[in-house]
Amino acid sequence: MTTLHVLVGLQNFERGLERMVDGVFSRAFKTGVRPVELGRRMLREMDEHRSVDVHGRRIVPNQYALFLSPADIANFSGIQDALIAELIESAHDYAAQEGYYFMGPVTVDFVERNDMRAGRFHVVSQMQQATGDPYPTDFSTDFPGDLETGFGPEFESGSGWADPSAGAPHPAAPDNLTDSPWAPVGRGSRVTPPPVARPEPHLTLGTGERVPLGLEPVVIGRLAGCAVVVSDLNVSRTHAQVRRQGGVFIVSDLGSTNGTLVNGTRIDGEQVLQDGDVISVGETHMRFEAS
């Protein structure tokens, strides 16, 4: 995904929040966390913690906890529900634009932390299936120095990040969070993932990322909704597709302008893939691995 694409997505994501600030919120957030700062961080959480499921879909966190100081919680009193509704709607809009999927309903919780200064906040996210079992992820609410700031008086307007030179000690998690679904994992600890089965057929991209090949076809192209998004003007919007057919996988060209190659040779319509075959679209190459 190109930097330009991310910036355009960020602008679209923030536009709804700006409308909300102008409409629902008449007050000015001059000394604390602004709603748009929370939205910007949620967007980054989606991009930074995205993954690929067994169907080749790009999945992103659907549960978000926004840790705020008592002063900022008070600043949002009476309008918190409206803000949460707008954040959830904006998350859905951005996911649709980027071709992201949620494993369950999107939720946003405001969590008050007595040991945080006004203007600072922290966002913790996780993937939660609708059935109730969370995908294991590497979170910690024992904040590792990545607290963010809105427009607090101690920080330059628009900085977005806490001053790393401030030297403030890392706050310990308060006791009242131990019974919360957002209770801290603990510094340096890690959630143990479930046992991993034998590798399934997949595409290995040039970045090393693996895209599983399941029952659903995997579409390759420039469109944000494609399972494999390629930022290359030589690639068509929907360029090629890899699908399972019986016991084999087939790559098909979807009428692209520049064609699809397998092992350097342009295919005529479609071709059965063999383990280790290299698929090329434009200047992008990916390897098919049967297991």
Q: Compute the distance between CA of residue 201 and CA of residue 220 in angstroms, rounded to an integer.
A: 16
Distance from C-alpha of 61 to C-alpha of 45, rounded to nearest angstrom: 7
Classify burial at 143, counting beta carbons within 10 Å of its beta carbon; exposed 0-12, middle 13-18, buried 19 or more: buried
Over the Cα atoms of the chain, what is R_g?
A: 22
160: left (phi > 0), else alpha (psi -120 to 50), else beta? left
Q: Running DSSP on this structure, what letter comes out for residue 176?
A: G
Q: What confidence score (pLDDT) does residue 256 get?
A: 92
Tokens describing residue 72:
């900022």
Tell me the H-state helices in the chain: 3-23, 35-48, 70-75, 80-98
Distance of CA 191 to the CA centre of its chain: 19
Q: Is 156 helix (H, G, I), strand (E, B) or coil?
A: coil
pLDDT at 147: 56
Classify the C-alpha dihedral 121-126-132-136 as positive or negative. negative
38 in Cβ contact with 80 (< 8 Å): no
Give exposure, 34-54, as e/b (b: 16+ Cβ within 10 Å): bbbbbbbbbbbbbeebbebbe
Question: Which fold would CATH assign to domain 3-154?
Answer: hypothetical protein PF0899 fold (3.30.2320)
Distance of CA 29 to the CA centre of its chain: 27
> What is the spatial distance between Cα 68 and Cα 123, in angstroms, rounded to a whole number?
9
Which token pair is 175?
């006791």
Closest CA to 214 of 230, 229, 231, 197: 197
Spatial distance between the Cα atoms of 249 and 214, rounded to a whole number of angstroms = 10
Please say whether the beta carbons of 35 and 156 come within 8 A.
no
- Token representation of residue 190: 């890690």
Q: CATH assignment of 202-289?
A: 2.60.200.20
Whole-number Å distance between alpha carbons of 39 and 73: 16
pLDDT per residue, tens digit, the chain (291 aa), is 444 444 444 555 555 555 554 444 444 455 578 888 888 888 888 888 888 877 778 889 999 999 999 998 988 887 888 888 888 888 888 888 888 888 888 899 999 999 888 888 889 999 887 654 444 444 444 554 445 554 433 333 233 333 333 334 433 444 444 444 444 333 333 444 444 445 689 998 887 888 999 888 999 999 988 999 998 889 999 999 999 988 899 999 999 999 999 999 999 999 999 999 999 999 899 999 987
Range list for CATH 3.30.2320.60 in the chain: 3-154
Where do you find CATH 2.60.200.20 in the chain? Answer: 202-289
